Structure 1
Amino acid sequence: MTDNANATGAEEGKTFLGHPTGLYVLFFTEMWERFSYYGMRALLVLYLTKHFLFDREAAYGLYGAYTTLVYITPVIGGYLADRYLGARKAVTIGAIFLVLGHLGMAVEGDPVQAGQSPDPGVLNIFYFSLALIIVGVGFLKANISTIVGSLYKKTDKRRDSAFTIFYVGINAGAFLGALIAGYLGETYGWAYGFGAAGVGMLLGLVVFVWGKPALRGAGEPSNPAQLAAPMVGPLNREHMIWLGAIVTSFIVWFLVRSQGTVNILLLAAMILTYGFVLWRAVAKLTPHQRNRIFVALVLISTNVLFWGLFEQAGSSLNIFTDEHVDRNLLGWEVPASMFQSINALYIMTLGPVFAGLWVWLSKKGWEPSAPMKFALALMQLGLGFLVLVWGSNSELMTPVIFIFLIYLLHTTGELCMSPVGLSAMTRLSVTSMVGLMMGAWFLASGAGNAVAALIAQATASGGEGVGQVLSVYSKVGWFAIGVGVLFAIASPFLTKLMHLDTLSDDATDDVPTVDTFGSNTDPGAPDKSLG
């Protein structure tokens, strides 16, 4: 089955709880991948500042460069999957790179002593492990979400519910990763925490390979013969993509240690990607298809603000929790990294509630539009920071309840944005651009992570006092609420441009109905291909 066939939804076969069984293969694959990613993320800034003795701004910068690159590479991975590999092969390649990268993180060496420099060999293994993870995420991240979308028709009302269930799988892994890897890393040694993350990713690879039949052809290459055709001697196109991924790992090895270079690369990638998307929307698509792409780009833009604030969890909020929060629960001082599991726990608890809520509201005709959900997400995100600021005191340790509250508000905001956004990208995109649009979605998340690094560095720019942190949090909190209000006002107009009444399940919905000069050949035709 080709990607064009997949566009109408893979043949379901067996279902479980009303969804294709392939959804649950993807659920567990992504669960273990997120176990490894968030388990490592929970430890990364603490590892840099306590093991390698990086100063705080340098640690935030490296963390920001890493998380930014993690979201740039899915643009390339999405394109290669759309054009050559198919989403399934891309996910397999990504999983293999991730296993190697996470296991490499377990090589920690001796702790750096004050006044000493880190062992260059150990530090380079660390950087190269980060590079393997970045490349692996590039192949896996956007494409596994694309396969989820391939299991359903565009007009299937289960889509938002399916992506929310998938999102619960993401956060089940994040919850267990932060708890287990965080606890092992801070209690027994960094190598144990990072090693646990590597084992988790290996389990994810096994699940995906074992569960391939349940996908029923979703995510297969669009042109298998082209992929297998020789290019350089005995090497075919798939071999060349593997070789390119290895070379890219060495390039990223050097890039990851330079925050400024990464930000320049990010800006260039955004200009090229969004410029290409806009050109194709204007030159190749019908008016309704074009308008949907425009709305998708507006929704994508909110990612920069949302994740710029949300991703303080792994950097400045992690350090704030470690140094300024009373973490004593029932006589046990909980390691700071383990608090990053709270967000995932809330999503596992509230995710099914939100999935059911959207379905119930849809039946009543009351479901908020995707743009309105995004507005609600931004307002809740800002409110979370303001609640933490209100509950903190510069002279006393912050009660731990306010850490639970900020994560609660950030989680409800996330549930209004991230799964809805994943669904919207696959719904608003034409078939041949869906991988690219998913990559563009994650590219904006990368920009958000670059902004997150700058915000985190601002919290440390006035020294290490809690007052500077709370001042920055107050400013960004009010800003997010203001943008959310403006987005809510604009949501009816954006919803109108989505043209939901003319969405088509036609597998050829991406065949342009414009002549060579870009004029519509049939202005009165429904918003689908006539060819």
Structure 2
Amino acid sequence: MSDTTEEMYKGSQERNLMGHPIGLSICFLTEMWERFSYYGMRAILILYLTKYHLFGADKANMIYGAYMGMVYMMPIIGGYMADRYLGSRKAVTYGAILLVAGHGLMGFHGPAAYMDGDIVVRDEFYINIFFLSLALIITGVGFLKANISTVVGALYGPNDPRRDGGFSIFYMGINLGSLFSMGLVGYVGETYGWNYGFSIAGIGMFFGLCVFLWGQKYLDGRGDPANPEVLKEKSPIGLNKENTIYLFGMGLVAASYIMMKYDELVIQFVGISGLIMVSIILFYSFSQCEKEDRERLWVALILIAVQSVFWALFEQQGASLTLLTDQQFNLTFLGITFKASQVQLLNALFIVMLAPVMAWLWLALAKRNLEPSTPAKFGYALLIIGAGFIIFSWALTLDDTSNKDFIWLVFIYLMVTLAELFLSPVGLSMVTKLSVPKIVGMMMGTWFLFTALGSNLAGVISSLMGSGEHGAAAGTLDMAATVELYTMIGVFSAGVGLFILLLAPIMKKWMHGVH
């Protein structure tokens, strides 16, 4: 190995498999199974709430939105605990254990709700078990999601040219997990029983935990605590700090349980937290930064804020769009009859198909100096997803039956995926590049806060589409309200996208050479 090559690979894991650090295969399989469980449960959650527990579309969508918001917000705390104390490997293990427990509990859901006159009768004990299950999953994702990526990064030295390729392989694991789960969990849940679907998701997460524990020997200590001795120190409550953090995790489960039970608290908490973080960063930019760093922070803040609009539309997939698919569309396409929850796999399928094409396109445009700037990509993303919802809402008015053409579902998922490919892959990279090193962690936390806000807003928007009917029709969408709201959010997103495109030249100038 030449000196130049040796310098490039300095700091990387020495053991390799198929050209990459051997630990990548363990992280790939762990994340694949975690996403299998997560997306499988997400695929059937809204249908389970409306068809089994007979929640109205309004309440079911609020629960869904609160859950998605908390899932995106909790990695801020889990990431901090890993960075400061636990290390990524222990955090991932703890998160995986919580996820197995949460998904396992989802398989025990008690008797179905029923109507007694005009009153819905539910078993409150099992409803509380359901909320506890969600709380365990939320906290588990918080400890696992951000930190498994950190373990991947730790496998590569700072100058290793394989890093981007490694993360691309890792990202493929996410999409494979989601693709398989939405096909399998959705089918089993809707055909044989919701508890069987949830159980399969739980088994998937158990496989992920087993893979990660078994594969520790292949990680060579990557992701271990920076200072293991600190974990052995006594905390104020008498336990060592490591066990205190695990106990704190149980406190997060309790807090998540309360937030899920009183879902209206989530959007208030996330919204206020987001405003506080923006205010702190703006104050920092004026008081601590020179002109170039200040303007870069402003660009990052603008893009962080507008991405919440994207997620508010994107997360309609698991909320109103799934209910709409179930109630209004002919689900036979190309000779195949789908379950409503399985249609969500179109997003993962289009990602797998289009991601390589988009990667080639950006490279080809870059060679001709035609690649859009990061702000322009955000603008195009909001314009594409907004236009998709405007056209889709118009298409809903073309057929007043409940047998609408499946091709329109293909269309909206294609538009959603195209928008995702413009925004999502560059988002986190943008934050790290434009942030001042001293506050990059705070900026990443703010990104996740606004992702959480958008996801929570998705549930709030979907809740406004309910018909207010009870019992068997509890999840029925009001089509007039749905068409109106889809048009409104589409126009708003497209308008914000156009505004960002107009600002893009100024924002590109404020980036001061950062691409």
TM-score by length of 2: 0.87
Q: Is the 8 A contact 1:178 1:341 kept in 2?
A: yes
Establish whether residue 314 from structure 1 lines up as the match of residue 318 from structure 2: yes
Letter in 1 for 2:449: L
User: Counterparts of 1:189-204 in structure 2 under 5 Å?
Assistant: 189-204=193-208
| CA deviation after TM superposition for structure 1 residue 279, in Å | 4.8
Task: Identify the residue that residue 4 of structure 2 maps to in structure 1.
Answer: none
| CA deviation after TM superposition for structure 1 residue 364, in Å | 4.5
- Choose 258-267 or 290-299, whichever is displaced more: 290-299
| CA deviation after TM superposition for structure 1 residue 331, in Å | 5.8
| CA deviation after TM superposition for structure 1 residue 123, in Å | 1.0
Task: Identify the residue that residue 25 of structure 1 maps to in structure 2.
Answer: 26
Q: Of the candidates 177, 182, 203, which is equivalent to residue 178 of structure 1?
A: 182
Deviations 1:329-365 (A, max 9, x none): 4665421001011101111222233234334444454
Q: Of the candidates 432, 438, 459, which is equivalent to residue 465 of structure 2?
A: 459
Task: Identify the residue that residue 409 of structure 2 maps to in structure 1.
Answer: 403
| CA deviation after TM superposition for structure 1 residue 391, in Å | 2.9
| CA deviation after TM superposition for structure 1 residue 284, in Å | 5.3
User: Counterparts of 1:270-309 in structure 2 under 5 Å?
Assistant: 270-280=274-284, 288-309=292-313
- Choose 196-205 or 163-172, whichever is displaced more: 163-172
Task: Identify the residue that residue 510 of structure 1 maps to in structure 2.
Answer: none
Task: Identify the residue that residue 449 of structure 1 maps to in structure 2.
Answer: 455
| CA deviation after TM superposition for structure 1 residue 281, in Å | 5.1
Q: Is the 8 A contact 1:387 1:405 kept in 2?
A: no
**CA–CA separation in structure 2 for the residues paired with 1:17 and 1:495:** 39
Secondary structure of the 2:200 match is: helix
**CA–CA separation in structure 2 for the residues paired with 1:284 and 1:336:** 52
Secondary structure of the 1:114 match is: strand
| CA deviation after TM superposition for structure 1 residue 17, in Å | 7.0
Task: Identify the residue that residue 207 of structure 1 maps to in structure 2.
Answer: 211
Q: Of the candidates 215, 221, 224, which is equivalent to residue 225 of structure 2?
A: 221
Q: Which consecutive unaligned segments of at least 5 residues does structure 1 have?
A: 1-7, 504-531
**CA–CA separation in structure 2 for the residues paired with 1:12 and 1:356:** 29
Letter in 2 for 1:441: W
Change (3 A) 1:482 1:31: same
User: Counterparts of 1:94-243 in structure 2 under 5 Å?
Assistant: 94-115=95-116, 116-150=120-154, 163-212=167-216, 218-232=222-236, 235-243=239-247
Change (3 A) 1:274 1:207: farther
**CA–CA separation in structure 2 for the residues paired with 1:472 and 1:267:** 21
Q: Of the candidates 479, 490, 494, which is equivalent to residue 507 of structure 2?
A: 494
State the identity %.
44
Change (3 A) 1:372 1:213: farther
Q: Of the candidates 487, 497, 509, which is equivalent to residue 484 of structure 1?
A: 497
**CA–CA separation in structure 2 for the residues paired with 1:374 and 1:250:** 36
- Choose 404-413 or 148-157, whichever is displaced more: 148-157
Secondary structure of the 2:235 match is: strand
User: Counterparts of 1:332-351 in structure 2 under 5 Å?
Assistant: 333-351=337-355
Q: Is the 8 A contact 2:11 2:158 kept in 1?
A: no
Task: Identify the residue that residue 64 of structure 1 maps to in structure 2.
Answer: 65
Letter in 2 for 1:187: T
Q: Is the 8 A contact 1:33 1:173 kept in 2?
A: yes
Equivalenced residue count is: 495
Q: Is the 8 A contact 1:11 1:216 kept in 2?
A: no
- Choose 454-463 or 303-312, whichever is displaced more: 454-463
Q: Which consecutive unaligned segments of at least 5 residues does structure 2 have?
A: 1-8, 470-476
- Choose 203-212 or 31-40, whichever is displaced more: 203-212
- Choose 254-263 or 279-288, whichever is displaced more: 279-288
Deviations 1:414-472 (A, max 9, x none): 01111211222344445564444333222111100121112112222688332321221
Secondary structure of the 1:235 match is: coil
Q: Is the 8 A contact 2:58 2:465 kept in 1?
A: no
**CA–CA separation in structure 2 for the residues paired with 1:429 and 1:486:** 23
Change (3 A) 1:151 1:207: same
Q: Is the 8 A contact 1:44 1:63 kept in 2?
A: yes
- Choose 344-353 or 282-291, whichever is displaced more: 282-291
Deviations 1:169-218 (A, max 9, x none): 22221111111111110001111100111111122223333444655655
| CA deviation after TM superposition for structure 1 residue 140, in Å | 2.0
Task: Identify the residue that residue 3 of structure 2 maps to in structure 1.
Answer: none
Change (3 A) 1:493 1:213: farther
Q: Is the 8 A contact 1:86 1:219 kept in 2?
A: yes
Letter in 1 for 2:489: V
Task: Identify the residue that residue 518 of structure 1 maps to in structure 2.
Answer: none
Q: Of the candidates 407, 425, 434, which is equivalent to residue 419 of structure 1?
A: 425
Change (3 A) 1:477 1:191: same
Secondary structure of the 2:114 match is: coil
Q: Is the 8 A contact 1:101 1:130 kept in 2?
A: yes
Establish whether residue 369 from structure 1 lines up as the match of residue 373 from structure 2: yes
Secondary structure of the 1:459 match is: coil
| CA deviation after TM superposition for structure 1 residue 83, in Å | 2.4
Q: Is the 8 A contact 1:142 1:442 kept in 2?
A: no
TM-score by length of 1: 0.85
| CA deviation after TM superposition for structure 1 residue 278, in Å | 4.2
Task: Identify the residue that residue 475 of structure 1 maps to in structure 2.
Answer: 488
